[in-house]
């Protein structure tokens, strides 16, 4: 009997891992880790360091985005049953209840870690989580929002600055909230918002062969040209936010990093231009990779700039 229970539990874990592989790949953790580390670097601009506690903070950051994914799975479940019946969740291999339990464990981890760091960190987490719950309820106007895809995306990306504040509080739990309104931190909040918005628009800017009647896309509402131009504008704005951070941070030889930041941004702009000229599934996938590279390399370069500058100025 115990062996049967163990085998059943093992099978469930495998199915949940299969869902994660499909909807929340482990590789995505790299982006969430880097988001925390760059926010920590900005929060510690006057005394830069990274420590072992940051490893735990990276895992907690990852758990937050897992919860966001679980919220989305609940919100979009009925539509996904229609459009993607082969998925692990929609095919019944796991249930929404399983995801609720997984989400509850992740939330418990976030609350425990925030409480460990201090009540101010926990209060900031609570503010962010309340907004996340409103997102999950689609601000009680889901039918209205679903007809306005851009407003929908903007309302959901607005959580990114709140996430950045929470991450900064985790990195510097002893600081007052006023310390997180510096030019560098405001630039970091803007960068997180623009980067997230840019990637969201990119992945829902589709080639003609991808369009489906029951699935919304920005190419449907803006046309190929309008959607592509919007992505290009957001890539440019993302680069401006990265340069703004370099301006506010105590970085040595900032012009070198400014040039390096421009390279992946230019590559992403070129990729979107190719999509504009010949939209297709392959071109859209190239855009996603190029925009993700611009985001990741930008964050990494900012961390490296702070690490090197800190070492030089010691």
Per 3-state DSSP, what percentage of the chain is helix, strand, and coil (rounded to 5)?
80, 0, 20
Bridge partners, 212 (sequence order)? 215
Q: Into which CATH architecture does domain 9-174 fall?
A: Orthogonal Bundle (1.10)
User: What integer pLDDT is reported at residue 34 of this predicted model?
Assistant: 95
Residues 6+ apart with CB under 8 A from 279: 206, 207, 208, 219, 224, 228
Q: Output the CA–CA distances (angstroms, integers) from residue 27 to 33, 66, 299, in the order listed.
A: 11, 13, 16
Query: Which pLDDT value is given to residue 216?
Result: 73
Task: Give pLDDT, residue 229.
Answer: 94
Q: Specify the pLDDT at position 7.
A: 44
Residue boundaries of the structural domains of the chain: 9-174, 182-314
Q: Is 215 helix (H, G, I), strand (E, B) or coil?
A: strand
pLDDT of res. 47:
86
Neighbouring C-beta atoms of residue 127, cutoff 10 Å: 13
In whole angstroms, give the CA distance from residue 109 to residue 93. 26
> Where in the chain does DSSP place strands (E)?
none
What one-character DSSP code corresponds to residue 212? B
Write down the pLDDT at residue 3.
39
Distance, CA of 213 to CA of 227 (rounded, Å)? 18
Specify the pLDDT at position 157.
92
pLDDT averaged per 10 residues in sequence order, the chain, 314 residues: 44 91 89 95 89 95 96 88 88 93 97 96 96 90 82 91 96 82 93 93 81 72 89 96 94 92 96 91 90 94 92 76
- Quote the pLDDT of residue 166: 96
Any bridge partners for residue 33, and if so which?
Answer: none
Q: What is the pLDDT of residue 213?
A: 66
Those residues whose C-beta lies under 8 Å from the C-beta of residue 30, and which sit 6 or more positions away, are 296
């Amino acid at each position: 009997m115990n062996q049967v229970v163990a085998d059943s539990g093992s099978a469930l874990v495998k199915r949940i891992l299969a869902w994660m592989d499909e909807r929340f790949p482990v590789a995505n953790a790299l982006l969430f880790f880097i988001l925390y580390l760059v926010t920590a670097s900005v929060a510690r601009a006057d005394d830069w360091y990274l420590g072992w506690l940051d490893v735990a903070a990276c895992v907690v950051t990852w758990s937050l985005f897992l919860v966001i994914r679980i919220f989305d799975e609940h919100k979009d479940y009925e539509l996904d049953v229609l459009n993607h019946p082969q998925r692990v969740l929609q095919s019944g291999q796991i249930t929404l209840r399983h995801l609720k339990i997984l989400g509850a464990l992740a939330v418990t981890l976030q609350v425990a870690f925030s409480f460990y760091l201090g009540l101010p960190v926990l209060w900031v987490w609570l503010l962010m989580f309340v907004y996340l719950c409103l997102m999950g309820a689609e601000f009680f106007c889901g039918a209205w929002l679903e007809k306005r895809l851009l407003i929908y995306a903007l309302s959901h990306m607005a959580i990114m600055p709140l996430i950045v504040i929470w991450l900064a509080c985790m990195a510097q739990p002893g600081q007052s909230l006023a310390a997180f309104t510096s030019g560098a931190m405001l630039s970091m909040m803007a960068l997180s918002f623009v980067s997230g918005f840019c990637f969201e628009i990119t992945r829902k800017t589709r080639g003609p062969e991808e369009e489906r009647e029951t699935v919304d896309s920005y190419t449907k509402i803006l046309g190929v040209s309008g959607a592509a131009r919007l992505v290009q504008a957001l890539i440019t704005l993302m680069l401006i936010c990265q340069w703004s951070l370099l301006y506010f941070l105590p970085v040595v030889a900032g012009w070198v990093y400014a040039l390096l930041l421009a390279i992946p941004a230019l590559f992403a702009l070129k990729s979107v231009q190719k999509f504009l000229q010949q939209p297709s599934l392959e071109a859209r996938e190239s855009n996603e990779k190029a925009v993700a590279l611009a985001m990741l390399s930008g964050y990494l370069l900012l961390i490296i700039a702070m690490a090197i500058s800190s070492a030089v100025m010691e």
